[in-house]
Amino acid sequence: MSRDTRVVQFPLQSGQCQSCDRASVCLGQGLSDTETHELLNISAVPKLLKRGQELFSEGHAFDYLYAVRSGAFKTYKITPEGEEQIIDFHLPGDLIGFNAVARGYYTCHAVSLDTASVCAIRFRDLATLCTGSIRLQETMLKRISALMAREEDFLVTIGTKSATQRLASFLVTLSNYYLNRGFSSTNFTLPMSRTDIASYLSLAVETVSRTLTRLQHDKVIAVKRNSVEIKNHERLHALAGFRLTGITPVADMLH
Amino acid sequence: MSRDTRVVQFPLQSGQCQSCDRASVCLGQGLSDTETHELLNISAVPKLLKRGQELFSEGHAFDYLYAVRSGAFKTYKITPEGEEQIIDFHLPGDLIGFNAVARGYYTCHAVSLDTASVCAIRFRDLATLCTGSIRLQETMLKRISALMAREEDFLVTIGTKSATQRLASFLVTLSNYYLNRGFSSTNFTLPMSRTDIASYLSLAVETVSRTLTRLQHDKVIAVKRNSVEIKNHERLHALAGFRLTGITPVADMLH
DNA sequence: CGCCTACTTGATTGTCGTCAAGTGGCGTGG
DNA sequence: CCACGCCACTTGACGACAATCAAGTAGGCG
């Protein structure tokens, strides 16, 4: 398996998980060789998407889980007023679609935020495979459980924090994600629009904009279009109030 | 866990799921006899709790899932400022603890809102049992997935709705729950305090109180302490669904 | 009976949403 | 290549909804 971290995983063909640098964060942790092999057989149905392309939409029959290989996605629901409510953003290594298992159809829309690629994993096959592998089965449960835990942490953020704190939390979470993936945690891009961020954090676009400018003015960050530089990680962390979401070392510190 | 001697209404003993009227909503749907039998063996470790008693607390090692038999629970996290943030309420038939699977410790506190009883299910055993049963395995996944979907719907509520709409949504949800369980959907009790509701809906207690009085004044509901009567289901439903913060026919309806 | 907690009600403040106008980047078409 | 328009974003002014502060009421329980 190539450990090359550059984006060379194309051309995407069936059975090509080996060439995917996301394999370790996908579903394959701690599996035996045969288990991994079987997983590869069913999981590598690749799909390439352009910016703004729909991966699936709300209400459509649920067949596939998607593992993000590259790019970024947003999932959202449409409110009765016809507006998007962003549920979450999804970066490489994330799995999308678990929330569809219960109802049998997707409960939200998933759209790529830029050029992106995913592995489509037929859920039926995956479930069948789980029967033979306790480890895989447990991995699945853990993945969903982690999503739930993350969602609940996020609920606290939305429920108790001010606009500034939400933005700060958001940036710290992103920063941690990039850190964990071996990228720069101080200089990175926001793949999503201000409007998306606003919806996600339950704020008005104007508030997001204003808050970002203020953070920049206070030398905590530097924003230029979609690129962010964190200039004062301490302050940002403090502003966020340190109970943060995601797979963060912070969260693992327990409390 | 010592067997409590005050147990009268339930013959709570190991292997007594048969006597539990929640069996069908627990985990046993569509299982074979032997599967059900095995499930019973591991799942009927009963526990009785008084009002305000802790089922588990945040950070503690995760061993058991709990199925609510009777009574009600709240799960909450403690914010950095030391305040409760209610994550969810749990009524008979609900399973508590799934969010702990990923991290290996409970990610929130669970406390009974009144006298309550639960089945403690050792997760290890359940996972093992799942290996042999595709159906049970799938049931598990579906249960977690349903929780996620629910959580996301709730996120939309919190993210886009006004105080009145949140309260209305909350009441409708409760009403639906009771309806599905064969109880009255128009007359029921609120097992949780106003403060709990406030935290859950990300509002101030005063706002909850005021809004409830206003709904009562407008003859949509009747509240007396912890008992609620829904007098105009139509209106309540309408109030729950739509948000109009600007020009508001709804707000007019409320005067 | 009196205390304590839960809840209600009223007055005031503040944060953030809304409305409105303006800027800048970018693609399109002339 | 520039002009144009579109869209995302920014910035400012204002107002609304809900939070906060502050009393006051009502049950529950010792």
pLDDT per residue as tens digits for the range B93-137: 899 999 999 999 999 999 999 999 998 989 988 888 888 788 888
Q: How much is the pLDDT for A35?
A: 65
Residue A153 C-alpha, separation from nearest chain B C-alpha, in angstroms: 9
Please give the full DSSP string across B94-136, using - where no structure is assigned: -EE-GGGTTTSB-SSEEEESSSEEEEEEEHHHHHHHHHH-HHH
The confidence score (pLDDT) of residue A43 equals 63
B139 min Cα distance to partner chain A (Å): 9
What is the predicted pLDDT for the residue at A186? 95
What pLDDT does A241 receive? 82
User: Within chain A, which residue ranges are assigned CATH 2.60.120.10?
Assistant: 17-144
Cβ(B151)–Cβ(A155) below 8 Å: yes
* Every domain range in chain B assigned CATH 1.10.10.10: 161-253
- C-beta neighbour count of A212 within 10 angstroms: 20
Under 8 Å between Cβ of A231 and A221 = yes
Judging contacts by C-beta atoms under 8 Å, the chain A residues touching residue B79 are 156, 160, 241, 243
Contact between chains at A148 and B151 (C-beta distance less than 8 A): yes
> In this predicted structure, what is the pLDDT of residue A129?
83
Cis-peptide, bond into residue A46, ω within 30° of zero: no
Q: Which of A79, A128, A151 is opposite residue B148, by nearest beta carbon?
A: A151
pLDDT band for position B81 (50/70/90)?
A: confident
What is the band of B175 on the pLDDT scale with cuts at 50, 70, 90?
A: very high
Distance from CA of B80 to the nearest CA of A (A): 7
- Provide the pLDDT for residue B77: 96
Q: Measured between alpha carbons, how far is A97 from B148 in angstroms, rounded to an integer?
A: 11
Query: What per-residue confidence (pLDDT) applies to B59?
Result: 95
Q: What pLDDT sits at residue B31? A: 61
Of A81, A102, A152, nearest to B142 by CB-CB distance is A102
Residue B5 has pLDDT above 80, yes or no: no
Question: B158 and A81 in contact by Cβ < 8 A?
Answer: no
The DSSP output letter for A17 is G
Query: Taking the alpha carbons of A84, A87, A91, A96 in that order, is the dihedral positive or negative?
Result: negative
Intervals of CATH 1.10.10.10 along chain A:
161-252
Phi, psi angles (nearest 5°) of residue A101: -55, -45
- Which pLDDT value is given to residue A253? 29
Instruction: Classify domain A17-144 at the CATH topology level.
Output: Jelly Rolls (2.60.120)
Q: Is the CB of B207 under 7 A from strand D?
A: yes
User: Model confidence over B131-162: pLDDT tens digits?
Assistant: 878 888 888 889 999 999 999 999 999 999 99
- Nearest by Cα to B68 from B35, B90, B98, B51: B90
Whether B223 shows a pLDDT value over 80: the answer reads yes
Cβ of A141 within 8 Å of Cβ of B151? The answer is no
Tokens of A82: 């016809």
In CATH, what is the architecture of B17-146? Sandwich (2.60)
- Judged by a CB distance cut-off of 8 A, whether residue A140 touches chain B is yes
Chain A residues whose beta carbon lies within 8 Å of the beta carbon of residue B59: 254-255
pLDDT in tens, B197-219: 999 999 999 999 999 999 999 99
pLDDT at B253 over 60: no
Q: From 1.10.3720.10, 3.40.50.1100, 1.10.10.10, 3.40.50.2000, which CATH number describes the B161-253 domain?
A: 1.10.10.10
Å between CA of B229 and C1' of D26: 20
Helices then strands, counting H and E runs in chain B, come out as: 9, 11
Query: Which bases of strand D sit closer than 7 A to a protein CB?
Result: 8-13, 16-22, 27-28
Give me the pLDDT at residue A38, please: 65
Contact between the CB of B255 and strand D at under 7 Å: no
Selected for mutation to probe chain A from B27, B83, B134, B151 (highest A CB count within 10 Å) is B151
Average pLDDT, chain B: 83
Return the pLDDT at B190: 96
In this structure, is the CB of residue A209 within 7 Å of any atom belonging to strand D?
Answer: yes
> Where exactly does CATH 2.60.120.10 map onto chain B?
17-146
Q: How far apart are CA A82 and CA A95, in angstroms?
A: 27
- Residues packed against strand C, CB within 7 Å: A 162-164, 202-204, 206-207, 225; B 193-195, 205-206, 208-210, 212-213, 223, 225-226, 245-246
The pLDDT value recorded for residue A47 is 86
* Yes or no, beta carbons of A101 and B155 under 8 Å apart: no
Arch. (CATH architecture) of A161-252: Orthogonal Bundle (1.10)
Residues in B closer than 8 angstroms to A94, CB to CB, are none
Asked if strand D contacts B79 at the CB level, meaning under 7 A, the answer is no
What pLDDT score was predicted for residue A233? Answer: 94
Beta strands in chain B (DSSP E): 45-49, 54-56, 64-70, 73-78, 84-90, 95-96, 109-112, 116-122, 187-189, 221-224, 227-230
> Mean pLDDT, 10 residues at a time, over chain A (255 residues)?
35 49 59 65 76 94 93 94 93 93 96 93 87 83 93 95 96 95 93 97 97 95 94 94 42 29
> Is the predicted pLDDT of residue B7 greater than 50, yes or no?
no
